[in-house]
Amino acid sequence: MKKLLVVACILFSSLSIIANDKDDKTVVAKFKVTTNKTDKMANLTFIPSNSEKVTVKILDEKGNVIFKEQILNKDGFSRPYNLSQLNGAQYTIVVKEGNSTYEEKISIGTTEITATSNALVATASRTDNNKVELKVLQTDANPVFITLRDESENIIYEATVTDMVSFIQKFNILQAQGALYFEVKAADVVKNIEL
C-alpha cells in the first residue's frame, strides 16, 4: 500500500509539473535582420506571435523615423529595405507587435573614404576591426604602387600591382594601432587616404 501511495504521489507531482510548463509557455515572435553592406540593403524577417498588425520603423543615427509602415501578415514576412539613397551608415530597425517591441541596430555603410581623379580612383574602408579593403580603378593599366602606414609612419605593407586596370586588395591590420594611411600612385597621380 505504501508503494502504491508513493507511486501515486510521484505521478501526481509529475503531471502537475507538466501542466505548469504548458501554462507558463508564451509564444514569442521571431525577429531577424540581415544586411548587405555592398548594396546598402537590409532584410527583415518577422514571424509574429499573433495575427495583429505590426508596425515597422527605420530610425536614423539620431533616432529620427525615416520610414514607417504597418503590415498584417499572420504567417510572417520577409521584406527588403533599400537604404542606398540615404547618407547614413547606422540605422535601427524597430518592429512593434501589440505590447512587444523588437529592435536591432545595424551598420549598413562603412566609413569609406574615396580619393578620385580622372585617371585613378582609390577607395579604402575598414571591413571589420582587423581588416581593411582597398579598391583601385584606373583608366589605363599603369603600375600601381601601394604603401600602407600606421599612425607612427611605420610601413605595414608595400607593393606594386602591374597589368591591372582595377583590383581589390584586402589587408590584415592586426598589428596596426590607430589611424592608417594609404598612398596609392599610378602614372603621375598620387592618392592619399586616411582611415
Q: Does 128 lie in the same domain as 103?
A: no
Domain check: are 87 and 35 in the same one? yes
SS3 of residue 3 by DSSP: helix
Nearest to 57, CA basis, from 96, 10, 99: 96
Task: Count up the domains in the chain and report the number.
Answer: 2
- Domain membership of residue 14 (yes or no) is no
In a domain, 65, yes or no: yes
Give me the phi and psi of 17, to 5 degrees please. -65, -45
Q: Counting runs of H as helices and runs of E as strands, what totals does the chain give? A: 1, 15
pLDDT of 13: 45
- Could you give the 3-state DSSP secondary structure of residue 49? coil
Place of cell 536614423: 60
Kindly give the pairing relationship between strand 166-172 and strand 155-161.
Answer: unpaired
Judgement on whether residues 135 and 158 belong to the same structural domain of the protein: yes
pLDDT digits (tens, 9 = 90+) for 117-169: 446 777 788 777 778 888 887 777 788 899 988 888 888 889 898 877 788 88
Looking at the structure, tell me whether residues 43 and 102 fall in a common domain. yes
Distance CA 168, CA 165 (A): 11
What cell does 172 get?
590584415
CATH number at 58 reads 2.60.40.3080
pLDDT at 68: 94
**2 pLDDT tier (thresholds 50, 70, 90):** low
Does 48 or 26 have the greater pLDDT score?
A: 48
> In this predicted model, which residue has the larger pLDDT, 20 or 100?
100
> Looking at 107, 133, 157, which one is the last position of a domain?
107
Q: How far apart are CA 153 and CA 180, in angstroms?
A: 9
Rg (CA), the chain: 28
Give domain status of residue 143, yes or no.
yes
Nearest to 99 by CA among 190, 181, 26, 179: 26
Q: What domain range includes position 161?
A: 120-194
Domain boundary among 83, 107, 131: 107
Residue 137 buriedness (CB in 10 A; 0-12 / 13-18 / 19+):
middle
9: in domain: no
pLDDT tens string 57-88: 999 888 899 999 998 877 788 888 888 888 78
Q: List for the chain the helix, strand, coil content (%; round to 5).
A: 10, 55, 35
Instruction: Report the CATH number that the domain containing residue 177 is assigned in CATH.
Output: 2.60.40.1930
Q: In which residue are the cell numbers 527588403 written? A: 80
Position with higher pLDDT, 132 vs 110:
132
